[in-house]
Amino acid sequence: MKVIYADNNATTQVAPEVLEEMLPYFHDLYGNPSSMHSFGGQVAGKLKEARERVAGLIGATPDEILFTSCGTESDNTAIRAAIASQPDKKHIVTTRVEHPAVKNLCEHLGGHGYRVTFLSVDRQGRSDFEHLYRALSHDTAIVSVMWANNETGVMFPVDEIAQVVREKGIVFHTDAVQAVGKIPIDMEQVPVDMLSLSGHKIHAAKGVGALYVRKGTKFSPFLIGGHQERGRRGGTENVASIIGLGKACELASQHLGEENERVKYLRDKLENGILKRIPNAMVNGDRDHRLPNTTSISFEYVEGEAILLMMNEFGICASSGSACTSGSLEPSHVLRAMGVPFTAAHGSIRFSLSIYNTEEEVDFIIEKLPPIIERLRELSPFWDESKAAAAVCS
Ligand code: PLP
Of the candidates 51, 108, 81, the residue with the CA atom closest to the CA atom of residue 245: 51
Residue 71 alpha carbon to ligand 1 centre in Å? 5
Half-sphere exposure of 344 (CA within 13 A, CB side): 17
Which residues span the domain enclosing 56? 16-252
Residue 334 alpha carbon to ligand 1 centre in Å? 14
SS3 357: coil
Q: Name beta bridge partners: 198.
A: 209
**Mean pLDDT value of segment 83-101:** 97
Mean pLDDT (the chain) is 94
**Mean pLDDT value of segment 149-156:** 97
pLDDT above 70 (res 392) = no
Q: Is 324 a catalytic residue?
A: yes
Give me the pLDDT at residue 329, please. 67
In the set 70, 249, 324, 393, the catalytic residue is 324
Among protein residues, the one with the nearest Cα to ligand 1's atom 9 is 71
Give me the pLDDT at residue 321, please. 74
Q: Name beta bridge partners: 155.
A: 148
Decide: residue 213, CB within 10 A, 0-12 exposed, 13-18 middle, 19+ buried: buried
Give me the pLDDT at residue 325, please. 46
230 and 122 in a single domain? The answer is: yes
pLDDT above 70 (res 106) = yes
The residues near 221 (Cβ < 8 Å, ≥ 6 apart) are 77, 81, 231, 232, 233, 234
pTM of the model: 0.95
Percent of the chain with pLDDT over 90: 90
Q: What is the pLDDT of residues 34-54, one digit of tens each?
A: 999 999 999 999 999 999 999
158 and 289 in a single domain? The answer is: no
176 and 306 in a single domain? The answer is: no
CB 321 within 8 Å of CB 335: yes
CB-ligand 1 contact for 177 (6 Å cutoff): yes
Locate the ligand 1 atom nearest the alpha carbon of residue 150 and give its number: 5
Q: Which of 198, 294, 319 to mutate to test the pocket of ligand 1 (most atoms within 8 A of CB)?
A: 198
CB-ligand 1 contact for 178 (6 Å cutoff): yes
Q: What Å distances lie between residue 128 and 131, 132, 145, CA to CA? A: 5, 7, 12
CB 102 within 8 Å of CB 175: yes
Give me the pLDDT at residue 343, please. 87
End-to-end CA distance of the chain: 45
CB-ligand 1 contact for 99 (6 Å cutoff): yes
Of the candidates 362, 150, 364, 148, the residue with the CA atom closest to the CA atom of residue 267: 362
Q: Name beta bridge partners: 94.
A: 118
201 and 115 in a single domain? The answer is: yes
pLDDT above 70 (res 112) = yes
- Of 214, 229, 252, the one marking the end of a domain is 252
268 and 315 in a single domain? The answer is: yes
Q: What Å distances lie between residue 90 and 95, 104, 105, 142, CA to CA? A: 17, 17, 14, 9
233 and 260 in a single domain? The answer is: no
Give me the pLDDT at residue 24, please. 98
Residue 208 alpha carbon to ligand 1 centre in Å? 11
73 and 142 in a single domain? The answer is: yes
Q: What is the pLDDT of residues 303-341, one digit of tens each?
A: 999 999 999 999 999 999 765 544 456 789 999 999 999
Residue 198 alpha carbon to ligand 1 centre in Å? 7
CB-ligand 1 contact for 199 (6 Å cutoff): no
Give me the pLDDT at residue 390, please. 59
CB 161 within 8 Å of CB 145: yes
185 and 315 in a single domain? The answer is: no
Total domains present in the chain: 2
**Mean pLDDT value of segment 200-207:** 98
206 and 335 in a single domain? The answer is: no
Q: With the C-alpha atoms ordered 330, 336, 341, 346, is the resulting torsion angle positive or negative? A: negative
| C-beta atoms surrounding 209 within 10 Å | 29
| C-beta atoms surrounding 216 within 10 Å | 8
| CATH number for the domain harbouring residue 322 | 3.90.1150.10
CB-ligand 1 contact for 153 (6 Å cutoff): no
Residue 390 alpha carbon to ligand 1 centre in Å? 41
| CATH number for the domain harbouring residue 140 | 3.40.640.10
Of the candidates 235, 379, 390, the residue with the CA atom closest to the CA atom of residue 303: 379
353 and 221 in a single domain? The answer is: no
- Of 252, 267, 287, the one marking the end of a domain is 252
Query: What DSSP letter does each residue of 19-73 carry, written as one string?
Result: HHHHGGGTTTT---TT-SSHHHHHHHHHHHHHHHHHHHHHT--GGGEEEESSHHH
The residues near 201 (Cβ < 8 Å, ≥ 6 apart) are 8, 9, 11, 12, 71, 177, 178, 180, 181
The residues near 194 (Cβ < 8 Å, ≥ 6 apart) are 78, 81, 82, 171, 172, 173, 174, 211, 212, 213, 214, 217
Q: What is the pLDDT of residues 121-142, one digit of tens each?
A: 999 999 877 889 899 999 999 9
Q: Which pLDDT band holds residue 394 (cuts at 50, 70, 90)?
A: very low
Q: What is the pLDDT of residues 270-293, one digit of tens each?
A: 999 999 999 999 999 999 999 999
User: How would you classify the pairing of strands 322-325 and 328-331?
Assistant: antiparallel
CB-ligand 1 contact for 70 (6 Å cutoff): yes
**Mean pLDDT value of segment 153-171:** 96
Give me the pLDDT at residue 381, please. 77
